[in-house]
Amino acid sequence: MSTSDLSRREKHYAFGGWQEVWQHTSHTLNCMMNFSVYLPPQAATGPVPVLYWLSGLTCNEQNLITKAGFQRYAAELGVMVVAMDTSPRGSDVADDSAWDLGQGAGFYINATEQPWASHFRMYEYVVDELPNIIAAHFPTNGRQAIAGHSMGGHGALMIALKNPGRFSSVSAFAPIVAPSRVAWGQKAFNAYLGHDTRHWQQWDSLCLVEQGQPLPPALIDQGLDDPFYPEQLTTELLETACQARGMIAHFRYHEHYDHSYYFISSFIEEHMRFHATALQL
């Protein structure tokens, strides 16, 4: 991809660095896609590590950059932060009238069923296409971490598990840790992957841990006043599985906090410092 294939849509100065939003034609998703990049001040003089952020249902690249308040800490720590939309978009992209399926609900998997398979390949986009763009056009030193919220927490954990050694660390806020066992995941997986639940296991973090896939150092935060906990967010299932396998995974449960970005903004500094420490190893 040449620089001319990228179009910068936003540029804002924040804490000595630049918050940018870019648009490009995704050959993986067959549509136009937006992604955001925060370039800390250190990126002006040399390459820096990257934290990839995956957002939740109905969200896009704007939620993190406008609500979480991470830029202050990314600037201090010298970490580039990249966030992307949660699905392919466009009038020719398949959709559903429900908020938890179709556009805005890509679940970070590669769909195999039509009409979804033509566009919904978010796993490939996050793992291959977008990192290649970042490496080619932005000052990264190649070290990577990954994080996410809700559906994006599912995506971050699952992608880290499926790509051992690639990420220095992973973290999640209120993740869907066992999508095969809850209504949100079952609805999406049935549509995107078909009725054979055996095909779902490769996209399910709990299944991957139980199958022996390694997890990098992990930090998982869950609010106890989250309306989706515990029915959709079966956090303890993953905690038990990680403990049984001796994985370095810290699970924290917080009274009064819900599913919103008020929760994320309350603990984003700790997540940024957790990743910065791992990225410097």
DSSP H helices, 112-244, are: 122-124, 130-137, 151-162, 183-193, 205-210, 235-244
Per-residue buried b or exposed e for 227-250, using 16+ beta carbons within 10 Å of the residue's own CB: ebbeebbbbebbbebbeeeebebe
Q: Note the pLDDT tens digit of each residue in 25-58.
A: 999 999 999 999 999 999 999 999 999 999 999 9
Which of these is catalytic: 119, 149, 154, 259? 259
Identified catalytic residue from 85, 226, 271, 275: 226
- The Cα 40–Cα 12 span in angstroms is 12
* Long-range pairs for 106-109: beta carbons < 8 A, 24 or more residues apart: 107/151, 107/154, 107/155, 107/179, 107/185, 107/188, 107/189, 107/192, 107/203, 108/54, 108/151, 108/152, 108/154, 108/155, 108/158, 108/159, 109/188, 109/189, 109/192, 109/193, 109/203
What pLDDT sits at residue 198?
A: 95
Active site residue 259: yes
The pLDDT tens digits for 142-188 are 999 999 999 999 999 999 999 999 999 999 999 999 999 999 999 99
Given pLDDT bands bounded at 50, 70 and 90, which one contains residue 5? confident
Q: What is the pLDDT of residues 254-278, one digit of tens each?
A: 999 999 999 999 999 999 999 999 9
Provide the whole-model pTM.
Answer: 0.97
Check if the beta carbon of residue 238 is closer than 8 Å to that of residue 114. Answer: no
Two structure tokens written together for 2: 């040449």
Per the prediction, the chain carries an average pLDDT of: 97
Is the pLDDT score of 1 beyond 60? no
Q: Is 36 a catalytic residue?
A: no
In the three-class reduction of DSSP (H, G, I as helix; E, B as strand; rest coil), residue 120 is classed as: coil
Marked catalytic residue, from 26, 87, 150, 171? 150
The reply to whether 150 belongs to the active site is yes
Chain centre to alpha carbon of residue 82: 10
